[in-house]
């Protein structure tokens, strides 16, 4: 295909200027990988200084929206002005970053921010103030330029229900599951690795960032309870944090004398994360604000024992999976009890892998648009 030009007919606009890191960037990269396989043509308004794969049917326009004011201006005025200045003809604009934009064509919003829709309550303090703003003001920008014809795409049924409760017609909301791809190497693990004895050292793995709602502190409280029970086995709580990422967590580790228990891995390549899933006796996921909870899906596909918060997102993702225990995300005693059950097993618990074969995915998304 020859190089695309901005004035070509039937270009699909993609607003993704804020998807610069973490799970948001994963969404952008998955979108691009699948868009490249279609016969459609795209202009992707992308974050600055983020390397993205080059494809013949995709044009990238970098836009600096690192500050909130810049993002609001771009979504409200900048994109529309750019379209007019370059005489771009488009029948569809896809917003991959939750918020609606001011355009004259059909709009499709990929909504993956749960904060404005969660019913979970949390304490207002210096650590959480940013998320209060997200919850109460972000919703305004999600719906600012929405019309009756605007379509939404979400990742889970619970988000569809929450969006419908906000007044969006159910017929305008579709559910598509993100890609869950594991490195091929995980298939080559021998049974001796999957079923090793766990009589001396037990490993609980929690792959999560330092955000307060990831609820690491609950696990520390549970570990303190386990320590008081004087179990024979050595327990390791393996986290994807580095010292300094979450000072409140670090202080509590010291306060509860858990330095010998907590293992800080820091950020690591995805292949190494998978290795830690495989070697763990159980995967923990006490987070109480999630859209999808990708680690739940990854651990389930690997057939791991999962101990997680009992909330709509986890019930949705792990529906039908036999290896999951759903617990109150505020009850450290319940978590300690379930962790003690895992500790008491003679082998690493393994279950029939979770399957997403029946779920609509990115391929279906592109057929949909």
Distance, CA of 286 to CA of 325 (rounded, Å): 11
211 falls within a domain: yes
DSSP secondary structure letters along 167-194: T--GGGEEE-PPP----GGGGG--HHHH
Nearest-Å Rg of the Cα atoms of the chain is: 22
Query: Per residue in 292-326, pLDDT tens?
Result: 999 999 999 999 999 999 999 999 999 999 999 99
DSSP secondary structure letters along 120-134: -----STTTHHHHHI
DSSP β-ladder status, 151-154 and 58-63: unpaired
Domain of residue 110: give its range: 11-175
Between CA 143 and CA 150, with CA 145 as vertex, the angle to 5 degrees is 80
Distance, CA of 288 to CA of 306 (rounded, Å): 15
Tokens for 354, please give them. Answer: 């979770």
Output the pLDDT for position 194.
45
Asked whether residue 195 carries a pLDDT value surpassing 80, the answer given is: no
Q: What is the mean pLDDT of residues 280-291?
A: 97
Q: What is the CATH number of the domain that holds 121?
A: 3.40.50.2000
Output the pLDDT for position 191.
44
Output the pLDDT for position 151.
98
- Same structural domain, 26 and 87: yes
Asked whether residue 282 carries a pLDDT value surpassing 70, the answer given is: yes
DSSP secondary structure letters along 53-77: ---TTEEEEEE---SHHHHHHIIII
Are 55 and 115 in contact by the 8 Å Cβ rule? The answer is no
- Same structural domain, 40 and 169: yes
Tokens for 250, please give them. Answer: 């670090």
147 falls within a domain: yes
- Same structural domain, 161 and 202: no
Average confidence score pLDDT of the chain: 91
Output the pLDDT for position 4.
64
- Same structural domain, 159 and 280: no
- Same structural domain, 26 and 152: yes
Query: Per residue in 49-63, pLDDT tens?
Result: 999 999 999 999 999
Asked whether residue 187 carries a pLDDT value surpassing 60, the answer given is: no
- Same structural domain, 170 and 282: no
- Same structural domain, 40 and 96: yes
Are 279 and 304 in contact by the 8 Å Cβ rule? The answer is no
Output the pLDDT for position 298.
94
Are 295 and 306 in contact by the 8 Å Cβ rule? The answer is no
Query: Per residue in 78-126, pLDDT tens?
Result: 999 999 999 999 999 999 999 999 999 999 999 999 999 988 887 778 8
- Same structural domain, 204 and 157: no
Query: At 179, is the pLDDT very low, low, confident or very high (cuts 50, 70, 90)?
Result: confident
- Same structural domain, 168 and 267: no
Picking from 219, 210, 288, the residue whose alpha carbon sits closest to that of residue 247 is: 210
- Same structural domain, 234 and 113: no
Query: Per residue in 2-18, pLDDT tens?
Result: 456 666 668 999 999 99
Q: What is the mean pLDDT of residues 126-149?
A: 89
Output the pLDDT for position 1.
37
Picking from 305, 6, 316, the residue whose alpha carbon sits closest to that of residue 161 is: 316
């Amino acid at each position: 295909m020859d190089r695309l030009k901005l004035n070509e007919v039937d270009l699909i606009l993609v607003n993704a200027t804020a998807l610069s890191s973490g799970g948001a960037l994963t969404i952008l990269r998955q979108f691009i990988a699948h868009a490249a396989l279609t016969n459609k043509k795209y202009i992707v308004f992308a974050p600055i200084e983020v390397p993205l794969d080059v494809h013949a049917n995709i044009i990238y326009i970098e836009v600096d929206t690192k500050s909130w004011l810049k993002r609001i201006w771009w979504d409200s005025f900048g994109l529309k002005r750019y379209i007019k200045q370059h005489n771009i003809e488009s029948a569809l604009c896809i917003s991959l970053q939750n918020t609606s934009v001011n355009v004259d064509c059909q709009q499709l919003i990929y909504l993956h921010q749960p904060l404005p829709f969660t019913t979970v309550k949390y304490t207002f303090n210096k650590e959480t103030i940013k998320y209060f703003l997200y919850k109460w003001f972000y919703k305004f920008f999600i719906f600012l330029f929405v019309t009756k014809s605007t379509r939404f795409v979400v990742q889970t049924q619970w988000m569809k229900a929450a969006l419908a409760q906000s007044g969006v017609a159910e017929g305008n909301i579709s559910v598509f599951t993100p890609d869950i791809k594991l490195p091929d190497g995980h298939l080559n693990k021998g049974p001796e690795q999957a079923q090793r004895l766990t009589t001396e050292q037990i490993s609980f793995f929690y792959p999560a960032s330092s955000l307060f709602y990831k609820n690491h502190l609950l696990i520390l409280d549970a570990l303190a309870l386990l320590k008081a029970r004087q179990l024979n086995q050595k327990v390791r709580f393996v986290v994807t944090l580095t010292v300094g990422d979450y000072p409140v967590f670090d202080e509590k580790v010291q306060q509860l004398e858990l330095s010998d228990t907590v293992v800080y891995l820091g950020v690591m390549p995805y292949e190494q994360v998978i290795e830690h899933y495989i070697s763990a006796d159980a995967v923990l996921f006490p987070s109480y604000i999630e859209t999808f909870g990708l680690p739940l899906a990854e651990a389930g596909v690997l057939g791991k024992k999962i101990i997680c918060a009992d909330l709509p997102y986890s019930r949705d993702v792990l529906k039908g999976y036999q290896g999951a225990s759903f617990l109150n995300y505020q009850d450290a005693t319940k978590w300690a009890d379930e962790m003690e059950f895992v500790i008491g097993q003679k082998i690493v618990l393994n279950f029939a892998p979770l399957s997403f074969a029946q779920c609509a995915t990115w391929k279906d998304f592109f057929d949909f648009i």
